[in-house]
Amino acid sequence: MSEMLNFSEAEFVERVRKTKASMNQKGIDVLIVTDPANMNYLTGFDGWSFYVHQGVIVIADQEQPIWFGRGQDANAARLTTWLGDENIKGYTDDYVQSLVKHPFEFVADIIKERGCDNKVIATEMDAYYFSAKAQERLEASLPNAKFKDGNLLVSWVKIIKSDAEVEYIRRAARIAEKAMNVALESVAVGVRQCDAAADVFHAEISGTPEFGGDYTSIIPLMPAGIRTSTPHLSWTDGPYENGDTVILELAGNYRRYHCPLARTLILGDAPQTVRDLGAVVAEGLTAAIDSIKPGMTCEEVERVWAKSIAKSGFIKDSRIGYSMGLNYPPDWGEHTASFRPGDKTVLKPNMTFHMIPGIWLDDCGVDISESFRITENGCETFTNIERKLFVK
């Protein structure tokens, strides 16, 4: 059993208990978890091995989950999880990217050994690292089982953070502040975009003197000029130019817990449209955050934002934020609650969100964001970087 756990064993036991309670409500006997963040949440498992088939099996009437994965990654499970050795199952390397056998046939054998081959089995059917072939092989190998979709079951359990998890996000926030200050300093006319991005990566990973950082689930998104008209581009190897708008969306990450943060910088003489857009986004973001109280729904918060920007003439037709925290590439969002019309998720203390009401026009855009925790009477923003359009 690991001596390197990021949380107490009691906390992991409680997470598994809550997961089993949700499984029971949904009539699920066995849950196969393949989302790396959910694997980590339930067991502590932390390795860059999600490019091969791996996962955690939660069986309703058995105490510990079972980790399965490539044999050479089994020691990672021994080093990072609270699981006993009998619940760490590594498959031989002839299963890896094989045309004749599949790791989920190995998973089926584990389920048979545990006497669960005629139970109700759920998989995370829309998880990034779970494939159609995996589902097909599992069903073919367990003809007496009934299958359900268990997608996001664990994600909804983990939407309310423990105090220990919140503390990790606060540490990530200190790293995010450092990285943003480095970005604001590094981006300048004549500097190559890739060199500024390298400075940001260094800041994110070196962290602070008190605690180092980890790789973030999304690269620093740092588009400049007309590339700011869309949200998910990053740097080039060209230099920044006078008049450029530069979006800076980055994060701190401490032990896989993220604190995302976005600001927008203009170099020299930026168009008036960008300046107007920056003022509108900052004002709307502040109005929405100031309105937040536990008991509100996500759509009610979005309405505050929508009312704030309505007078400006600018339009935003996408969500303005989402639940975030523990994750692996390619996303730090949890795929659960979003601030948008129709989302009736009720805000509760220790939910954590990233609110990023960016607006992208045909030739420019502005991103300003805050990450925060729902408190007993409002919300706590994690970072302290001035909420404005920066001018350099």
Q: What tens digit of pLDDT does each residue of 364-385 get?
A: 999 999 999 999 999 999 999 9
Q: Residue 129's closest CA among 67, 51, 45, 56?
A: 51
Whether 104 is covered by a domain: the verdict is yes
The C-alpha atoms of residue 220 and residue 38 are separated, in whole angstroms, by: 24
Per-residue pLDDT of 310-321, as tens digits, reads 988 888 889 999
Whether 292 is covered by a domain: the verdict is yes
Residues 143 and 171 in one domain: no
What pLDDT is attached to residue 314?
A: 83
Give the range of the structural domain holding residue 184, as residue numbers without chain letter. 163-391
Whether 3 is covered by a domain: the verdict is no
| Total tally of structural domains belonging to the chain | 2
Identify the domain boundary among 130, 157, 184: 157
Per-residue pLDDT of 141-194, as tens digits, reads 999 999 999 999 999 999 999 999 999 999 999 999 999 999 999 999 999 999
Distinct helix (H) and strand (E) counts, the chain: 10, 16
Listed in sequence order, the residues at least 6 apart from 100 whose beta carbon sits closer than 8 Å to its beta carbon are none
Residues 144 and 118 sit within 8 Å (Cβ to Cβ): yes
Whether 71 is covered by a domain: the verdict is yes
Q: Residue 75's closest CA among 50, 46, 109, 34?
A: 46
In percent, the amount of the chain with pLDDT more than 70 equals 99
The CATH number of whichever domain residue 276 belongs to comes to: 3.90.230.10
Q: Residue 371's closest CA among 163, 116, 186, 166?
A: 166
Residues 120 and 223 in one domain: no
In percent, the amount of the chain with pLDDT more than 90 equals 95
Whether 1 is covered by a domain: the verdict is no
* The token pair that represents 110 in the structure block: 């584990």
Identify the domain boundary among 137, 157, 177: 157
Residues 234 and 330 in one domain: yes
Listed in sequence order, the residues at least 6 apart from 388 whose beta carbon sits closer than 8 Å to its beta carbon are 278, 282, 368
The CATH number of whichever domain residue 46 belongs to comes to: 3.40.350.10
Residues 204 and 56 in one domain: no
Whether 254 is covered by a domain: the verdict is yes
Per-residue pLDDT of 88-147, as tens digits, reads 999 999 999 999 999 999 999 999 999 999 999 999 999 999 999 999 999 999 999 999
Listed in sequence order, the residues at least 6 apart from 317 whose beta carbon sits closer than 8 Å to its beta carbon are none
Question: If you average pLDDT over residues 263-267, what whole number do you get?
Answer: 97
Residues 146 and 212 in one domain: no
What pLDDT is attached to residue 179?
A: 98
Residues 146 and 242 in one domain: no
Angle at 230 between CA 225 and CA 231, to 5 degrees: 105
Residues 260 and 369 in one domain: yes
Residues 122 and 257 in one domain: no
Whether 4 is covered by a domain: the verdict is no
Residue 2 confidence class, pLDDT cut points 50, 70, 90: low
What pLDDT is attached to residue 311?
A: 86
Residues 127 and 276 in one domain: no
Average pLDDT, the chain: 96
Q: What is the pTM of this model?
A: 0.97
CA distances to 157, 160, 190, 305, 308 from 292, rounded to whole Å, are 22, 16, 42, 11, 14
Across 47-83, b (16+ Cβ under 10 Å) vs e yields bebbebbbbbbbbbeeebbbbbbbeebbebbbebbbb
> DSSP secondary structure string, 283-307?
HHHHHHHHH--TT-BHHHHHHHHHH
Identify the domain boundary among 123, 138, 157: 157
What pLDDT is attached to residue 46?
A: 97
Q: Residue 248's closest CA among 239, 258, 260, 236?
A: 260
What pLDDT is attached to residue 4?
A: 81
Answer yes or no: is pLDDT of 1 > 60.
no
Residues 230 and 86 in one domain: no
Q: How crowded is residue 20: how many other Cβ atoms within 10 Å of its Cβ? A: 19
Answer yes or no: is pLDDT of 3 > 80.
no
Residues 62 and 177 in one domain: no
Whether 2 is covered by a domain: the verdict is no
Residues 338 and 270 in one domain: yes
Cis peptide preceding 294, ω within 30 of 0: no
Q: How crowded is residue 104: how many other Cβ atoms within 10 Å of its Cβ? A: 28
